[in-house]
Chains A and B, each alone.
Chain A
Amino acid sequence: MQTITNDDVDVVIVGLGWAGSIMAIELAKEGLKVRALERGPDRPPEDFAYPKPADQYAYAIKNKVFATPRDAALTVRYNTGETALPTRKWGAFAPGTGVGGSGLHWTGVLIRPTTTDLKLKTYADQAYKRGTLDPDMRIKDFPFTWEEIEPHFDKFDKICGLSGTTGNLGGQLQPGGDPFEGPRSSPYPLPALHDTLNSSLFAATAKKMGYHPFPNPSANVSQAWTNPYGAQLAPCNYCGYCSKYPCLNYSKASPQTAILDVVKRMPNFDYKVNANVIRVDLHADKKTAKGVTYIDEQQREVFQPAKIVILSSFQFANVRLMLLSGIGQPYNPLTEQGTIGRNYAFLSNGDATLFFKDKHFNPFATAGATGEMFNDISPGNFDGPSLGFIGGAKIHSSQATGAPIGTALPPGTPGWGKGWKEGMVDWYGRSMKIGITTTCMSYRGHYLDLDPNYKDPWGQPLLRMTFDWRQNELKLQRHLRDIVLGIAKELKPDAMSENFLGLDSHWDITKYVSTHNVGGAIMGTSPRDSALNRYLQSWDVHNVFVPGGNAFPQNFQANPTATIGAITLFAAEAIKNQYLKNPGPLVRV
């Protein structure tokens, strides 16, 4: 029943967030005819002119620039014995939609994983006695070396105007930076953002206790920056509306500010919005794709022919499109056959909130990435093996926003009435947090597949997520809690509340953690247990590339965007230098 067929393109890009925008500019610069299809609306920078985004209710409460659960829900269950239920409202995570994707409203923490994080399986096999870790754990190494991927991290740092303090320049440790970071080929492009009161209190105390704090690496730029594509970013003005908001000051690196302003001017690039891709169309032998089919804004079905298909929508949307299109075999957790859907992982957070009745934190005067963190408790940097778990966390005091809805109040403050109202007067702006952002291992039973019961408004099955906390992750939480509370006590707050997982916790989908979902279509060295090769190319359908968090075999403590940028640039280079000359599998096994 196809009614419309578009003109041929060389490359069709499904989803115009960070990964799609990187692919768009890199491949358009090669002279290819590139068309992006974005399921959400256009989000031009003029929509975010100062001070329009300074609206907590619209952006942070009603999720103005996010996908709606109505259109983009998935279902969740804790184990394969249960019937999964839909995420009717967003809670633990909230994916973006529209041009820019989650890259429009992200917080802007741009941090690399460590060299150990990228070779976690190798580390685990060396450091842990056989049998100490959960036998269902399915962690893997990333399929490239630090030396291979570092230039791409470096390029993405420069695309974003990364602001921070260098810790390791070519193997030489630098004062004030992260001594655990992998060697950089060049220093941070820009100096760090200025510390707020919470950051400096935390950093001074952590340092005194022997940790190695450094400023959160930030893609909210500290100074004016012109990136390698010629896009210009303006110095961050610490507006206080960042995480969940588009930037009102052209200071946060986003697909819009760092790439799209440039690529939109190229005649061989165009993009369509409100174009909801429902499948990749394969040739009969299922070895190559013909193009993609989408529903346009008039609800017509449109076929877009293309020589190369880039799936660059959000992590779980990529996995779902592969499953809906019959790309590769769906993963079966009982037999461990099939690759699409395996190695799904999330992450946990936790924090202590410290209340000081006489301090002014002015939390509204902040950048999204504002804060200090340390990486001492990451794999290989502390004695994880003797503690009986693998993983770690970045431990930080961040202040991503200071708008008042949801203000934390000291324990015992009533939730409503006079007590709540006076609590707001007494305690707004009087607290700081010390938080953790953790690793999350992958397991045999944590995976993604298509839900048998629930459908989206277009009649397609929702993606089903089977996931819960394991003892490894919960033990890690308890260990981190001790460290956080130890630092908190040194700061001598007047009151304190805490929020960490207990050893019997189930995953709570109602509490926001981060939209750092990973895995499900992972990169690896073998088509037996990975969906993609090191160039993010489908092992099964060689003209389909799938850049995104879906490619991570487990979750590290670093925020994912730096790695998504780096692996996408790595893949773009392989397409330009190898695939275009000789279309076919880029890795032979």
Chain B
Amino acid sequence: MSTDKVNLSRRTILMATAAAIPLVSLSPHRARAEGLEGVELHRYQPVFFSPAEWQFVMAACDRLIPAEGKGPGALETNVPVFIDQQLHAGLGDDVYMQGPHKADAAPTLGFQHDHTPQQMYRIGIKLTQQHSQQAHGKPFEQLAPADKDALLTALQKNGISFADLGEPTLKPSQFFGQFLGDAKNGYLADPMYGGNKDMKAWVAIGFPGARAAYTEWVDAHDVKYPLGPVSLSGKRA
């Protein structure tokens, strides 16, 4: 399992450098040339999350899509950058938000509470950290991996109560669902949005990205497609 070892050590480096090195902006020249595809996670300055929130987001992404096992993890693929950029760019501004809101509606009637994705992250992170402090005496990012997974599972299954922490309408599962959905989107979207760095997730699963031309391939049934992915910016992996 040498691959696991490499991935784990890479994650350790990413986590360590994110915490230890002062965050600096990309040089404007580099940003223009590469856009979000050229970002190095340990040098990235979040534009939506506060430094404290960023610690949580990095640590939680690292458990939602961890480094261990086959395929790259969320940190290796810059998933936190994607989430930060999407929240900054107005994710959720297409939602109908006029009241009255009936937060306890039947689940089959869909999203009905009154929180934007941005508010869900702000509130969700704050309350999850409060719970972590109460239960473990330290913030989420300092928990052991198994304790992190247990707390994320508790969020997913409403095993803890945000209401007890002073938030009456947002359920932990709603925050978790938004976070997980965004993490998966960032992992699998085109790299121009900041995640899926170097198309590593596409390489791992065998998706050719934006090639978008298969006239001569459609008749080749049950044959593995031989070419690696291409991004919208024209890069190959």
Contact = CB atoms under 8 A, between A and B. Distances in A.
Given A70-B93, A360-B224, A57 B193 contact: yes
Contact of B189 (A56, A426, A507): A56
Interface stretch (A171-179, A193-201, A284-292): A193-201
A405 B95 CA distance: 21
Given A55-B210, A428-B207, A417 B66 contact: yes
Nearest to A86: B96
A52 B232 contact: yes
Contact of B71 (A194, A415, A422, A429): A422
Interface stretch (B16-24, B101-109, B131-139): B101-109
A240 B212 contact: yes
13 contacts: A55-B189, A61-B185, A62-B94, A68-B94, A76-B109, A83-B102, A85-B112, A405-B188, A405-B189, A416-B63, A421-B65, A422-B69, A510-B108
B149 interface: yes
A426 B70 CA distance: 9
B215 A70 contact: no
A387 interface: no
Interface stretch (A34-42, A311-319, A362-370): A362-370
Contact of B223 (A50, A360, A415): A360
A418 interface: yes
B177 to A, nearest CB: 10
B110 A510 contact: yes
A89 B110 CA distance: 8
B140 to A, nearest CB: 15
A69 interface: yes
Interface of B: 63-66, 68-71, 73, 93-98, 100, 102, 105-112, 149, 152, 156, 180, 183-185, 188-190, 193, 201-202, 204-215, 217-225, 232
Given A404-B201, A421-B65, A510-B108, 8 more contacts: A54-B212, A88-B110, A360-B222, A365-B214, A417-B64, A418-B68, A424-B205, A428-B206
B69 A364 contact: no
A587 B237 CA distance: 64
Contacts of B214: 237-240, 362, 364-366
B180 A416 contact: yes
A453 interface: yes
Interface residues of A, number: 68
A211 to B, nearest CB: 21
Nearest to A200: B221
List the 7 closest A-B pairs by CB distance, nearest first: A365-B214, A57-B189, A54-B210, A68-B94, A428-B205, A239-B212, A73-B96
Contacts of A237: 212-215
A70 B225 contact: no
Given A404-B188, A417-B149, A89 B212 contact: no
Interface in A388-438: 402-405, 407, 415-418, 420-422, 424-426, 428-429
A515 to B, nearest CB: 16
B108 A509 contact: yes
B189 A421 contact: no
Contacts of B205: 404, 407, 424-425, 428-429
A70 B97 contact: yes
Interface in A236-251: 236-241, 248-249
A425 B201 CA distance: 9
Contacts of B211: 51, 54, 364
Contacts of B112: 85, 88
Nearest to A198: B221
Given A76-B109, A421-B65, A364 B96 contact: no
Contacts of A508: 108
Given A405-B184, A429-B206, A365 B94 contact: no
A416 B100 CA distance: 34
A55 B190 contact: yes
Contacts of A264: none
Contact of B204 (A402, A407, A425): A425
Interface in A37-90: 50-57, 61-63, 68-70, 73, 76, 83, 85-89
Nearest to B109: A85
